[in-house]
Every structure is written in structure tokens, then in C-alpha cells.
Amino acid sequence: MFRAAAIVTLSVMCGSCDTLYSVSASGRTDALLGQTCVLETLRSESAVHSALAREHGTIAVELNIPESVISGPEDYPHPVIGVYMRKDRDGPCEIELTMLSVNRRPSAGYEAYIQKVLDELRNRIIERCGSS
């Protein structure tokens, strides 16, 4: 859904010779996720360095990665992820957290850590902001 659109957009922008790697977590809730609640939730998490609202309801989040997880130059200490929310008229509210990396495949341990963090952030957002 959102990730596919982001990957297509980046593919066009980056050119056909660039390789994209992504890590993402998505979920649904029947409640409308308010951007203010999502921002406050993200900012309260120790894994989050900063979070700010962007245009069209998206949120940019800079993560804190422990030094013990970083094993090479392809692993960033503060990767940026995008948080995308969408509510269809009669359907559930969808949220997706995605980290994209261009031409740099993260190490397996780093990628696993990012996946764990994204899953935890998604669950925390739905828990705190998704209650009707």
C-alpha cells in the first residue's frame, strides 16, 4: 500500500541502477489515529530521537540505534523512518512505518533490530491512539 507507492516514487527519483532496501511494519485499527497523539507517543519512546509532522499527514522519525547494533558503514546511528496514516471512508485506519535505504543493505542484525523497533512503535501507537 504506502510502501509500494514510496518504493515506486524513489525508484523513479533514484534511477534504475539503484537498489532499494526496506524494513516496515503496518497495522490497522477501527479508530481514527490523531496525528497529535501519534507524535506524542513517538516522542515519548526511548527508541525515537525526534519526530516531526510533515505535509499531507506524514511523520518523519529519527531513531536512536545503540552502538552495539551498528556493525558497519551501512548501519546508520539515526536512521529516518516515515510514518504514514490513511483512513478510508468506511474502512479501518491503516498505519505504516517504513525505513528505506538506497544502495546500502543494512547488516542482518541491524535490520532485525529496526524491524523489532518498528513493530513495537506500531503496537504502541495503536494501543495509545487507536482506542475509540
Q: Does residue 116 carry a pLDDT above 90? A: yes
Q: What is the pTM of this model?
A: 0.83
**CATH number for the domain whose boundaries are 2-14+21-129:** 3.30.530
Q: Does residue 70 carry a pLDDT above 70? A: yes
Residues 25 and 119: beta-carbon distance below 8 Å: yes
Average pLDDT value over all residues in the chain: 86
Residues 46 and 64: beta-carbon distance below 8 Å: yes
Domain ranges for the chain: 2-14+21-129
**108-129 vs 35-43: helix crossing angle, rounded to 10:** 130
pLDDT tens digit string along 32-68? 888 999 999 999 999 999 999 998 879 999 999 999 9
**Distance between start and end Cα atoms, the chain:** 24
Give the pLDDT confidence score for residue 90 in this predicted structure.
78
